[in-house]
Structure formats: structure tokens, C-alpha cells
Amino acid sequence: MNNYLILPSHAGVDEAGRGCLVGSVFAAAVMLPEHYALTGLTDSKKLSEKKRDLLAAQIKEQAVAWCVASANPQEILQYNILHATMLAMTRAVQGLAMQPEKVWIDGNRVPKDLTMPAETVVKGDAKIALISAASILAKTARDAEMYALHERYPQYGFAQHKGYGTAAHLAALQQFGALPEHRADFAPVKMMLAQGKLFE
């Protein structure tokens, strides 16, 4: 899948939900054995939900170690979304049952608190199996949070748009106001809060 020297002692890291208006930002770290049977590993956004869910279960069964972590909306407000994402990634790596010798990260930024060597790969979730696996675990965890939110607030349509700023989400935000779970520093939410539009 790639031309990188990936070893079983390495971990892949990716995030999900960075661009959403509501909920936590998630990150996952995954270490895979030398031989694994995971057909169709790629960027989680290119997979159907059914395929993602299937692969997520298989990854958890076959991984040497895996961890999913998050940073909540209060932390996103406190640190901003970039630093909250780095925090979630650090937590995911630190939460692994064994610490990797090296970390491969999707994107172009390395969390400053990692204690091991790390390398970034732009679009790594489509190039490196370890990052693809992390992408899938982060995305399925993020979706699970959105389904749970949908159960509590069905009028917002979280099961459909997964918290992204779609026309339907923005219309619901306008109609019903901002939830405590919305990200207060994201522009459309900030506007609702400035107008005193809160969910009641």
C-alpha cells in the first residue's frame, strides 16, 4: 500500500470531526502485526458506513494495540480546534497498551507532547495502512457520538449530517438554537450565542 518502512513497532494516527460544528474531535492510534487480514483499508471517507463498521471491528480484533481518544467541545473552546486535535492525538498514543517506537500521522503537524519520533504524511490515510486503520477507528467513534446526540436531539438531524455545517444543520441551529455540545467558537454557533439563541 505504500513505500514507507513500516514496522510492527510503529503506530498510525488520524483524527475525525475536526471540521464539525458540534461534539468532540476524535483521534485513534493503531499498531498492526506484521501479518494481518484487513481487506479494503483506505481513507475512511472513501468507505461506506457498513464497510467502515466491519473494518473497525476487524482492526480491534487484529491490532497489536489500539486506542481511541477525544477532546470535548469545552477543550476545543479552551485550546482551539488545532490544539484540541493535537491533544486528542497525544491521548490516543499515550493510551496504547504498548508504546510505539515511531508514530505515523496523517496531515502535516506533529503533537508537541509525543515522546517518540513521529513523521507526518499528507493524505496518509490513503497511503499507509496504519493511518487508514486509525482513520477508520476515529471516524466510527465520532459517528457513534453523533448517533448518541441524535437520540437526545433528533430535531437537529445529527444522524444524517454527522455534525458538519450542512444546510440542514444550519437551519436546525437557526430554528432551535445552540446546544451545550455545539462548539462555541465556530462561526455559525458563535452567531447563535451572540443572539442569545440557546436550545430550550
Q: Which residue has the higher pLDDT, 24 or 40?
A: 24
Q: Which residues of 47-59 are buried (b: 16+ CB within 10 A; e: fewer)?
A: beeeebbbbbebb
For the residues 158-163, what does the mean pLDDT come to? 96
Average pLDDT score over residue span 160-178? 96
pLDDT, tens digit, for every residue of 56-110? 999 999 999 999 999 999 999 999 999 999 999 999 999 999 999 999 999 999 9
Say whether pTM exceeds 0.85: yes
147 three-state secondary structure: helix
d(CA 84, CA 67): 17
Partner residues linked to 68 by β-bridges: 28
Predicted pLDDT at 181: 97
Q: End-to-end CA distance of the chain, in Å?
A: 50
Average pLDDT over residues 108-122: 96
Q: Pseudo-torsion of CA 129, 133, 135, 140, nearest 10°?
A: 160
- pLDDT at position 2: 56
Convert 121-145 to b/e letters by CB count within 10 Å (16 or more is b). Answer: beebbbbbbbbbbbbbbbbbbbbeb
The average confidence (pLDDT) of the chain is 95
At 136-158, the pLDDT tens digits run 999 999 999 999 999 999 999 99
| Domains in the chain: ranges and CATH | 10-150 (3.30.420.10), 154-194 (no CATH)
